[in-house]
Amino acid sequence: MTKSRKMEAPVVIVGAGIVGGAIAYYLTQRGLKPVVLEKSAIGAEASARSAGGVRAQCRDRLERLLAMASIKLWEGLEAELDFDMEYVQGGNIRLAASEERLAGLAAEAQEELADGLVVEMWDRDELRRRAPYLSYMFIGAKYCATDGVANPILSTWAFAVAARRAGASILTHTEAIGVETQGGHVTSVLARGRDGEFAIETPLLIHAGGAYTPQLGQTLGIHIPVEPARNFIGVTQRVPPFFTEFVSSHDMRIYFRPARAGHVHVGGVLVTANTLDRSVPAEGLAHLSRIGLMAPALGNTNFLRAWAGTLAMTPDRLPIIGPVEGIRGYLLAAGFSGHGFCLGPIVGKLLSEWVVDGESSMALDELSLSRFA
């Protein structure tokens, strides 16, 4: 059944993940009431399925600066949004099991310190002292005290709920299926919801559709180089709390972090390329059981649940953010390549500035789609 409804919006955002939700929220703070189209439920896709890492260390320089600014926002978000996001600055430990890895981390530390990010290099003794729960296989680590974690589901919801409260309209189970332009300028977005298809007149479309972004771009004749990839997370039963850090090792290809309720989330530093499949493979759980080698205290616990999510990978593993050349009124915020959760708030803030002020307080030019041209 098709209903003809006529809607208007100053801005349409596609995707109610943490990026889309943050854009919507910060736009409402500048007096705009955007419409958000979400093809599934809130908190059903990659944002809410992520590890919830909020970290600035061990990133490409462009992302590092964004992450540092984002963490400044994170520090005040729970009060600002009036929502418990389980945000904890419990520190981030990046481990080394070889001298070569350790030397790489030390070089990175120099760059980070130069950018004003406070990190520490730990040798073997310091690692023993600061994180005695870790296996002796590791010979050192880089540590950032201001990094941390948040609950990815609650954080995604926090922005959606706050945006709604401030007047944004979030339409769930509603998919953006087309864009109309006139003279190279966006004029309306076509959507399909449970009640049928309808159009929203708007001069501005911000596309934060994660791995599902390329399809809509195609209807505009734009190639957006984002490919889906699968990652998965296992959760242990509750254990008495014994650490606060987000810990990762590229030697073991494992990361893990504590959740407030006492569970430990364990993920693999590896992805299955080019798939939208979200089943957890048998060998995936087997890989995650390596946590028992990294943190022997967890060796006797049980896995309780596991899930997979779909990452949006770009060729250079950096996000695509900002206006698209040739189509006025079409902005992208997609392709976060598995690092988007922490960046959501700052990207939302910067794009709201771009919409209202005509420019953002941090330059985003280097992240535009045209870098792939």
Partner 1 sequence: MSGPTETKHTEVAVVGAGPAGLSAALAAAQAGVQVTLIDTYRQPGGQYYRQPAAELETLHPDSHQREGKDLWSKASGAGIELLAQTTVWGAFEGNQLALYGPESPPSLQAQAIILATGAYERIAAFPGWTLPGVMTTGAAQTLLKEQRILPGRRVVLAGTGPLQMVVAAGLVQAGAEVVAVLEGSRPLRKVLRRPWDFVTALWGQWSRMSEGLSSQLTLRRARVPFHTGWGVIAAHGQGEVTEVTIAQLDDEWRPIAATSRRVACDTLCCNYGFIPATELARLLGADCEWRPAHGVFVPVRDEDLATSAPGVYTVGDGAGVGGGPLALIEGQIAGLAAAAQVKANGSDGGDTTSIREQMVGLRAALRRERRFQKLYAGLFTPGPGVDELAELDTIVCRCEEVTREEISEAVRLGADTLDAVKALTRCGMGNCQGRVCGSLVAAAVAQEIGHPRAEVGQFRVRPPIFPIPLAALKPVDDEAASILQGGGIAR
What type of residue sits at position 161?
V
Contact 236, 264 (CB under 8 A): yes
The tokens describing 130, both together, are: 């600061």
Of 139 and 356, which CB lies nearer to partner 1 in the complex structure? 139
State the nearest-atom distance from the C-beta of 281 to partner 1, in Å. Answer: 7
Of 262 and 315, which CB lies nearer to partner 1 in the complex structure? 262
State the nearest-atom distance from the C-beta of 31 to partner 1, in Å. Answer: 23
Of 287 and 339, which CB lies nearer to partner 1 in the complex structure? 287
Instruction: Report how far residue 234's alpha carbon sits from residue 305's, in angstroms, rounded to the nearest whole number.
Output: 6
CA angle 138, 103, 245 (to 5 degrees): 45
Of 127 and 321, which CB lies nearer to partner 1 in the complex structure? 127
Q: Which of 15, 1, 8 is nearest to 334 (CA)?
A: 15
State the nearest-atom distance from the C-beta of 107 to partner 1, in Å. Answer: 19
User: What's the burial of 58, exposed, middle or buried (CB within 10 Å: 0-12/13-18/19+)?
Assistant: buried
Q: Point out which residues bind partner 1 (CB under 8 A).
A: 41-44, 48, 97-99, 124, 128, 136-139, 153-154, 157, 160-161, 164, 170, 172-173, 236-237, 251-252, 261, 279-283, 285-293, 298-307
State the nearest-atom distance from the C-beta of 291 to partner 1, in Å. Answer: 7
Task: Return the exposure string of 130-150: e unless at least 16 CB atoms fall within 10 Å of the residue's CB, then b.
Answer: ebeebbeebbbbbbbebbbbb
Of 138 and 336, which CB lies nearer to partner 1 in the complex structure? 138
State the nearest-atom distance from the C-beta of 329 to partner 1, in Å. Answer: 28
DSSP 371: G
**Could you tell me which residues come within 8 angstroms of residue 251 by beta carbon, excluding any fewer than 6 positions away?**
95, 96, 97, 98, 101
Of 173 and 371, which CB lies nearer to partner 1 in the complex structure? 173
State the nearest-atom distance from the C-beta of 307 to partner 1, in Å. Answer: 6
Which residue bears the tokens 């953010």?
Answer: 321
